Amino acid sequence: MLRTETWIGSFLTVSCLTLAAPVMAVEYSVNGDMRTGFYSLHRDDRNGKEDTTDELRLRVRAGVGAKLNEQWLGQARFAGRYSTDDRNELHFKIFNSLPADDGLRRGDSTLDEAYVEYRPATGWQLRMGRFQSKAELNGVAKKSLDRNDSPNTDITWTDGVLVRHSSVSGWITTAIAQYNDSEGATQVRHTPLEYSDDDSRVSYFIGHESTRKTGPIVQRAVDVTWLPNALHSRGLGAGPVEDYWGLVGRMAAQWPMRGSMKFMLAGELGYAPNTPQRSTVRTGLSGEADGRAAQLTFNLVDIVPEHSAGLVLGRAGDGWLLSPDFGPNTNLVELRYKWAIDKQQTLEARARNREDINQRVGSVQKREDVDFYVRYTFKL
């Protein structure tokens, strides 16, 4: 089995060689974004204590792209995450796995993209290295039950190989083979998923999606995620290791209303046939965890031009372990407002409530989080 440092280093070397090619032979471009805002969280915790956190956050991403010809291109990007609530020293590192549950810690920075891409023919794309990947539900507040690198101010990424085909009918098929370090994945994956087993080193994703408008339908998709030998259903070292599967379907429809306004109704369903024991995730003393998840969104798009609002209702069972947007054993209600100032600038506001579905074993009460933010995004 190839060591992580060798595997990642090989792609970083190829990417750097691509970007360092003769200037006359390469078209260079600079890209990136900056996101900053005020974030507030009030938590009624499981131990009965209350806590409030207010902070200013900043995420900076700056990349350099290089196009050698019509078939070959490359990209490398720096990404850093910072906060006034930072308790870590500022430092840069090429991480092999996520240092925190939601990605980089405050104060961390890394390369979140370092890949080469080959386009052998019209409609085909092959990407190798470190890159961003998403499978989101359309709407004002774009969220996902299974794959969504770097939402909000988080920084996560995919190490692996991506193959994508776009057909003339509008359907896009994406297949990803993703490397997982023994210390953990590079995307949000919830316990008891764990990668100490050699057979868990590569996981797989395949999605089939169309966003071509057909009547009122503006999105339809189905995804499958397969994590071989990654589910420790009875706890690490306490029993056999199983494969973890996630099956997801999503659909969105949109109808015109008065003036520029449109109404979008969108939904996503997820199901995991193999789930951990409730005793392992501490949501009960017996039985298997719930492998179902869902979100339903109501969106008013362009209430007046460039101003939109949305409502998200979400639920993830204690056995749904794939989403960075919906934690296991959580009910979610969220209101979102978005002002697309222009092609480069966006202002957004969010108010959200999250609460445990089942009270954790040994806890005093269910955890409830109420949070809000106002954030500004600028894209190069």
Is this prediction's pTM over 0.85? yes
Closest by CA to 73, choosing from 31, 134, 135, is: 31
- Rounded to a whole number of angstroms, the distance between the first and last alpha carbons of the chain is 40
The Cα–Cα gap between 143 and 62 comes to 24
Residue pair 61/30 in contact by the 8 Å Cβ criterion: no
Bridge partners of 29, per DSSP, are 65
| pLDDT given at position 238 | 81
Query: In the predicted model, what is the mean pLDDT of residues 337-357?
Result: 98
- Given a contact cutoff of 8 angstroms between Cβ atoms, the answer to whether 254 and 216 are in contact is yes
**Which residue segment(s) compose the domain that 90 sits in?**
4-379
By DSSP bridging, strand 217-231 and strand 202-210 are antiparallel
Sequence-distant (≥ 6) Cβ neighbours of residue 57 within 8 angstroms: 35, 36, 37, 39, 81, 82, 83, 84, 106, 153, 375
User: Could you tell me which of 167, 173, 178, 90 has the C-alpha nearest to residue 132?
Assistant: 178
The pLDDT-based confidence of 174 (bands split at 50, 70, 90) is: very high
- Specify the 3-state DSSP secondary structure of 2: coil
Tens of pLDDT, residue by residue over 111-147, are 999 999 999 999 999 999 999 999 999 999 999 999 9
**pLDDT value at position 236?**
84
Phi-psi region of 259 (alpha: psi -120 to 50; beta: other; left: phi over 0): left
> How far is 367 from 278, CA to CA, in rounded Å?
17
Question: Residue 324 maps to which CATH number?
Answer: 2.40.160.10
Per the prediction, the chain carries an average pLDDT of 93
DSSP 199: G
Among 237, 272, 236, 268, which residue's Cα sits nearest to residue 252?
268
Q: Which residue has the tokens 């209600």?
A: 333
Instruction: Give the pLDDT score at 13.
Output: 47
Over residues 213-237, the mean pLDDT reads 95
The count of domains in the chain is 1
DSSP state of 290: P
The reported pLDDT for the residue numbered 16 is: 53
Structure confidence at residue 90 (pLDDT)? 87
Do residues 204 and 178 touch, judged by C-beta distance below 8 A? yes
Of 134, 145, 133, residue with least CA distance to 266 = 145
Token pair in block for residue 22: 């003769």
- Look at residue 375 in the predicted model and tell me its pLDDT: 98
Question: What contacts 253, CB < 8 A, 6 or more positions away?
Answer: 216, 217, 218, 264, 265, 266
Whether the CA torsion 115, 116, 121, 122 is positive or negative: it is: positive
Q: Could you tell me where the beta strands, DSSP code E, fall in the chain? A: 27-44, 50-67, 72-83, 91-92, 108-118, 124-131, 158-166, 171-179, 202-210, 217-231, 242-256, 262-271, 292-304, 307-316, 330-340, 345-356, 368-379
Residue 1 pLDDT > 60, yes or no? no
Is residue 5 over pLDDT 50?
no
pLDDT band, very low/low/confident/very high, at 335 (cuts 50, 70, 90): very high
Task: Give 15's pLDDT tier (boundaries 50, 70, 90).
Answer: low
Least trusted range by pLDDT, from 39-53, 88-102, 167-181, 356-370: 88-102
Mean pLDDT computed over 346-374 = 98
The verdict on whether omega for the bond into residue 192 sits within 30 degrees of 0, i.e. cis, is yes
